[in-house]
């Protein structure tokens, strides 16, 4: 069974920004955690739309992704991943999601961000689609400074495991070791099992 990691960038991000190239290289170092690692090139990254990003995700991985798929979203990419997962048919699950700098609320939203905040999410469907949900937050995120409330919302709404990184801000650095460690620790053992079972 092919095991894939699909990354969805932040607002104005692309496959060559932030920690995505570094993380991709790290994850391809033997023994690889995933058979396939890719960061999606999303449409209109400076003004992302729900329909545009969710449909791009569906085109990239299919309307029904392989059960061995793990998604990694960054900031608005987390929103896109969650909204895509809510479209999956009942009973279909994927291996998991890692949501980096995820949010449900933003302190000072701008106009093009409003639809992402105002369009409801189907938490029951999202939760049902994930075998594991891990959220990586920081205690110094400039967009969602109330990290305690953000933590509680992810735990209550998605049953997520939340990892709080001190001084992580919005995780925009070229290297983000905490993100790599989360993938290794939360999806490493399952990866070895999945690969062993596929031979």
Answer whether residue 8 is part of any domain: no
| CB-count exposure of residue 113 (10 Å: 0-12, 13-18, 19+) | middle
Query: Among 10, 162, 159, 23, which residue's Cα sits nearest to residue 98?
Result: 162
pTM: 0.93
Say yes or no to pLDDT of 199 above 90. Answer: no
Share of the chain above pLDDT 70, in %: 94
8 A C-beta contact, residue 18 and residue 79: no
Answer whether residue 120 is part of any domain: yes
Indicate which CATH number applies to the domain containing 124: 3.40.50.1820
Answer whether residue 28 is part of any domain: no
What pLDDT digit, counting tens, does each position of 139-186 carry?
Answer: 999 999 899 999 999 999 999 999 999 999 999 999 999 999 999 999
Answer whether residue 51 is part of any domain: no
Answer whether residue 20 is part of any domain: no
What is the overall mean pLDDT for the chain? 93
What pLDDT digit, counting tens, does each position of 49-102 carry?
Answer: 999 999 999 999 988 999 999 999 999 999 999 999 999 999 999 999 999 999
Q: What is the pLDDT of residue 193?
A: 40
The partner residues of 8 in beta bridges, in order of sequence, read 73
Say yes or no to pLDDT of 196 above 60. Answer: no
Answer whether residue 98 is part of any domain: yes
**Confidence label for 1 from pLDDT (cuts 50, 70 and 90):** confident
Q: How many domains does the chain have?
A: 1
Answer whether residue 97 is part of any domain: yes
Q: What is the pLDDT of residue 189?
A: 61
């Amino acid at each position: 069974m092919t095991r894939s990691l699909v990354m969805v960038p932040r607002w104005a991000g692309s496959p060559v920004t932030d920690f995505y190239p570094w993380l991709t290289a790290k994850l391809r170092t033997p023994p690889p955690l995933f058979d396939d690692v890719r960061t999606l090139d999303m449409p209109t990254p400076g003004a992302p739309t729900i329909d545009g990003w969710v449909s791009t995700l569906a085109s990239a991985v299919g309307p029904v992704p392989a059960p061995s798929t793990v998604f990694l979203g960054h900031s608005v990419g987390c929103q896109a991943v969650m909204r895509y997962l809510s479209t999956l048919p009942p009973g279909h699950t994927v291996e998991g999601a890692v949501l980096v700098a995820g949010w449900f609320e933003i302190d000072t939203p701008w106009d093009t961000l409003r639809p992402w905040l105002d369009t409801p999410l189907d938490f029951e469907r999202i939760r049902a689609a994930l075998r594991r949900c891990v959220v990586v937050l920081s205690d110094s995120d400039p967009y969602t400074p109330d990290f305690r409330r953000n933590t509680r919302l992810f735990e209550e709404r998605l049953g997520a495991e939340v990892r709080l990184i001190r001084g992580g801000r919005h995780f925009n650095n070229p290297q983000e070791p905490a993100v790599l460690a989360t993938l290794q620790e939360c999806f490493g053992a399952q990866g070895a099992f999945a690969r062993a079972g596929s031979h």
